[in-house]
Each structure stands twice: as structure tokens, then as C-alpha cells.
Amino acid sequence: MFLSIFEQFPIVAVAMLLGFAVGIVLHEASHATSAYLLGDDTAYRDGRVTLNPASHLDLLGSLMLVMVGFGWGRPVPVELSKLRGGKWGGVAVAFAGPAANLAIVALCAVLIRLGPFQGRLVLFSVLGIAFVNALLFVFNLIPIPPLDGAKVLYPFLPRFLNGFVNFMNQYGPYILLGLVLLSFLPGVSPFGFLLSVVSPILSVFGIPPLFG
């Protein structure tokens, strides 16, 4: 994906890769930091309460991102039993990642209004970071394990849905992988709705579209 974009729109490709790198690092660091603040030092002892990209980027996930446009970071270890606040502690840690991505979008909205960021190259970089982080915000809130949306929603589901929750926790990763693979087939777009949500988010912050 990005290899072909590099050939036609190198600035856009670099901007989006930069956006993914920044977004993944801050997303995972936010999970780790929020868990630490709520009483679980597991991620802290694992060296994850940091903005060092080497602590959060996954080698295979980064390679996949460049090659096919889909990648991931290193999951943050969290022990829910150590968190304060009961189920709300787990929800807070799960939502911290997407919230960090949305905060990056808000920061980009401020930066593009400042003089030093009006140059074409810098502006495209900021727009790329904003677009990708809006995408990460929406994608990670999809309620399919292991995405954060499941960890935010499932604790509030009624008990009679425990069977569904157990099924999704067991098979959700395979379902998600299948949907991702389907999205690479011509004419098939399981995640096509993401862009329809990303655009309004960018508009709310007054950020122009990256592809426009």
C-alpha cells in the first residue's frame, strides 16, 4: 500500500507513516501510564511508561504497516486485578489509548493555524498525523477483541450476554483478522465506514482533508 503511494505521492506517504508512528507510540504509552497511575505497575516494570518508540513499536507490525498499510504496536500488559476503581479502572485504561489519538488530532488542529506550520511539507506532515490518528481513534473503538472498544463496552453488557462475551474474547482476534484480510479484496471493504466517521471528526476540529 504505502510502497505504491510512495511512488505517486511521497509526501502523503511519509506523512501517514509519521502519523502511524506517533499515534501508536502515544496510544500504547497512554495505556501504560494510565495503568500505572491506577495502581498496576506491570507495564511500568516492563519499561512501557515512556515515549521511547523502541518500547512500543513492534518490528513485524511496523513492516506490515509499510508493506500493506496495516500494522500494530506492542500490546501493553495490564493486570485488571491491580487497578483501582473496579471495572471503571479497566475501562479507563482501555479508553486512554484512543483518547490519546484524539488528543493528537486536537493538537494538530492548533498547529495548522500557526505560522511555522504553513509550509507545504510541514503542513502535509501535520495533516497526515491528524488523519491517521482520527482513523486510529475510530478503529480502536470497534468492539471486537483485542481492540479497546471491546474493553470499554463489554464490562457494561448484561450478564445474559456472558456467552457472547466469552465467544468474542476467544474468537474476536480471528474475526478481526478475517475482516482485515477481506478488506484487501477488490470491491470488499468491511472497514469502509471508518472513513465516513473520520471525516466528520476532522471537520469538528476544523482540519481539512488530507486527500483533497
pTM across the whole model: 0.91
Residue pair 152/87 in contact by the 8 Å Cβ criterion? no
Residue pair 31/43 in contact by the 8 Å Cβ criterion? yes
What residues does each domain of the chain span? 2-204
Question: Measured between alpha carbons, how far is 95 from 98 in angstroms, rounded to an integer?
Answer: 6
Residue 12 has pLDDT above 80, yes or no: no
Question: Measured between alpha carbons, how far is 151 from 147 in angstroms, rounded to an integer?
Answer: 7
Q: pLDDT of 100-154, one tens digit each?
A: 999 999 999 999 999 888 887 888 889 989 999 999 999 999 999 999 999 999 9
Work out the end-to-end distance of the chain between its first and last CA atoms, rounded to an integer number of angstroms.
19
Q: Rounded to the nearest 5°, which phi and psi values hold at 121?
A: -65, -45
DSSP 133-185: HHHHHHHHTSSSTTSHHHHHHGGGS-GGGHHHHHHHHHHHHHHHHHHHHHTTS
Candidates 144, 131, 71; CA nearest to 102 is 131
77-87 mean pLDDT: 95
Q: Rounded to the nearest 5°, which phi and psi values hold at 28?
A: -70, -40
Residue pair 117/4 in contact by the 8 Å Cβ criterion? no
Coil vs helix vs strand at 73: strand
